[in-house]
Every structure is written in structure tokens, then in C-alpha cells.
Structure 1
């Protein structure tokens, strides 16, 4: 039988802390949240692997180190409203719920949304809701958001999502550049203007529904 508490401890001590993650609130959230509770039973034995974790429906949980570094850079505050795009089974939503005032977990897959809602309820999370809908469109009814987190590689940040970011809000996403390399980028809206900077490189799986539409060439 897997000792999940020990696996979670070694994830934090072996994958998270050595990779420049020092925010104590974030480290505590990762230490306290049972990742195995948010994945299919068949994947629980490898819930703390240091890689993207397949959870079915062609979807993955982000590698813990990448996820943790993204959240550290986006600096979630206790008063923040957060949109978690591609929350899948609910693990990322649960972590964000420990850091923020409220979280909306958005996913396009109804089965994953239902699983996330059940897992969040079972863990006693009361400040997060789950919504099914097109991820690239976001969830404007819950916005504007102080923080938006996109849980997978995308070709670009859609305008619809960027428009749901509040003034002084932060958005973190893994954007694939022209070379095919994933760049974790932090976007910030200041004075109504959205700017971005590259944080580090990462190569998670692509998040569906963000594909660029083909353009006609004459």
C-alpha cells in the first residue's frame, strides 16, 4: 500500500523546495492537500511523480514543480478572486482555494468537472466552484479576476481570457513560442495595459480548445 503522506512529503522536499519555491503559504498548501484524492484510482500510486500525470480524457495534471513555480510567481493573495482554467480533476483548484478568497475551476470536460466538484466537496473545500464550458472563453460571470491560472501549454492567451483580468491582476500561462518551446509567462494588467515577461521554460502537454484557427493564404 502506498504511503501517501510520505510521498507528499518527498514531493515537497525533493521537487518543490529545491526549485526556488519559498512561499510558505504555497508550500503549506502543497504539503496539506492529498493529490491522490484528485486523480483516478488507477493513477493514485503515481500521484506524486515528478512529471505530468495522465488522468484520463486526454488530460494531465501539471508536473508539481512547474505548477508550484507558476503559483509562486503569480503571488496569490488571501483576498484574491481566482479563475483556474483547465482545473481538470480539481487538484489545482484545491491548492488555489487554500491561498485565495474564492476560486472558479473551469474545464470543458463535464466528466472532469463533476469529478472535481465531488473531490473538492469530499475535502471540505467551500470557497471553490466548478464550471463546465469552453476554456478559451473563460467565465466572465465570475470576473473580473485578480488571478488567472492556465493549466497547460497554449499557443497564445485568448483576448476573452485577458479581458477578464482585473486591474493589477496577474495571469500565468505556458505559451508555446515559434520554436515550439513552452515559456511560462506572467501577464499583468497595470493602468489598463497588459504586459508580460518570460519566467522559465517548461514543456507540459497542450491544453485542448486553444488551437489557433487556420487562416486563409491568398
Structure 2
């Protein structure tokens, strides 16, 4: 067992399982995906630590606990199409690719998207489509989606994103207020969004997902 493999097992045993994440497909995927290959090279030693991993430019890889709980709340099925917004270096897409049928990984940073494609390819993961484009635009050409997962903080979710969710579909977003945030899961029922609180977490707000600030003198 390599050092990273041992750390991966420890991450699951000390961060994921104690957070009441018990669904076997999530545990299995997080044990299988080599997280160290989906973080910046100078952060590999921190790949399995408890906490968000900075990607630069205010972006992060969500901490294992928060990401696992998000997946648990979304309850992905193996026949579903998922839109992964802010996929960064591809870790979230790699894990979800083990559970769902196909993932569309939306990333605004061209170099990060290219790096994620290499890492996914090296891992033998072939059911992820990498898309470079504005995060708040989503990827309508491959939609509508059964599930949408947003990998970072939001103050609001643009209508353009919600329109890409199928009727009956689910979306998870981390709504930030100041330094505190809560992950909410939204269900689209009768064309309207019904949100419920899942758990507390924290992450920087993604570009395009902040509220317009009113200008005051």
C-alpha cells in the first residue's frame, strides 16, 4: 500500500464516514480516486488533509467531508447525467464519474481544464466531458441535467444554470453569507426550485455567483 493510498483510506475513515456518509458508491469512489493527482503539484502532500485546497485565483477543491456530504445529499444514480460547475483540476468530476453515467465538467480556466483532462485520462476515466467556459453560463448544449453540483461558494444561482436542470432534477450549492455558508439542495418541481438545508460548509464565492452590489455614495 503506497503512502498516498494509506492516506486515502485514512481520509475516508476519519473525515467521510464519521460525517454520516455511508452510501457505498461514494465511499468506493473516494477510496478509488487518487486525490493527489487532482490538486496542484505543490499541494500534493496536503491532498488528504481536512480542509479546502487552494487552486489559486480564489478557487478551491472542497474539503473531503463537505464534498462527500454534498454527494450524499444529491444521491447520484448510475444512469444520471451530471453538470459539475467549477470542476477545477477534475477531482469532483473523477469521483462522480464512478457513480453517475456521465459528467460534464465546466471550468472557466483553460489550463486547469486541460490539466484535468490529462489527470482523468491517466486515471482511465472516460465518461467526463471537459468544457471550457464561464461558470455562470453552464453548458446548455449537453443538458438538461439530472443533477448539477457547484464546486464553490455562491450568493445566488443564476437562472441560466437552473434552466439547465431537468424537471425533477437536483442541484447542490454552497450559499455563503460572510464567512459562513450552508449547502442547500434544490429540487425542481413544476418548474420551480424548492431548496432545503443539507449542512454547513465554507468556500470562496465562484466568479459569476456573487450578488450585484448596490452602489452607495
Q: CA deviation at 1:217?
A: 6.5
Match runs of 1:3-82 below 5 Å: 3-82=3-82
Deviation, 1:212, is 2.1
The residue that corresponds to 2:200 in the other structure is 201
Matched, 1:115 2:115: yes
Whether the 8 Å contact between 1:63 and 1:204 is mirrored in structure 2 is no
- Aligned residue for 1:99, secondary structure, equals coil
Residues 54-73 of structure 1 deviation map (CA, whole Å, 9 limit, x = unaligned): 13343210010000000100
The alignment partner of 2:183 has SS state of strand
SS at match of 1:49: coil
3-state SS of paired residue (2:98): helix
Name the SS for the 2:185 alignment partner.
Answer: strand
- The worse-fitting range, judged by mean Cα deviation, of 54-63 and 115-124 is 54-63
Consecutive unaligned residues in structure 1, runs of 5 or more = none
TM (normalized to structure 2)? 0.95
| CA deviation after TM superposition for structure 1 residue 200, in Å | 1.3
Contact 2:176 2:205 in 1 (8 A): no
Q: State the Cα distance separating 1:207 from its structure 2 match.
A: 1.8
Residues 177-196 of structure 1: pairs in structure 2 closer than 5 A: 177=177, 181-196=180-195
For the residue of structure 2 that corresponds to 1:105, the secondary structure is strand
Q: How many residues align?
A: 216
Q: Which runs of 5+ in 2 are unaligned?
A: none
What RMSD over aligned residues (CA atoms) do the two structures have, in Å?
1.5
Give the corresponding residue for 2:94.
94
SS of the residue aligned with 2:89? Answer: coil
- d(CA) in 2 for partners of 1:151 and 1:208? 12
Contact 2:59 2:152 in 1 (8 A): no
- The alpha carbon displacement at 1:84 in A equals 0.3
* Cα distance per residue 1:14-54 (max 9 Å; x no partner): 00000110100000000011001111221111110100011
Question: Does the residue aligned with 1:73 lie in a helix, a strand or coil?
Answer: helix
The alignment partner of 2:48 has SS state of coil
The question of whether the paired residues in 2 share the 8 Å contact of 1:170 and 1:189 is answered with: yes
For residue 204 of structure 1, report the CA deviation from its aligned partner. Answer: 1.8
Equivalents in 1 of 2:23, 2:81: separation in Å? 19
CA distance in 2, matches of 1:95, 1:136: 22
Following TM superposition, by how much is the alpha carbon of 1:142 offset from its aligned partner in structure 2, in angstroms? 0.8
**Cα distance in 1, alignment partners of residues 64 and 70 from structure 2:** 10
CA positional deviation for 1:163 = 0.7
SS class of match (1:185): strand
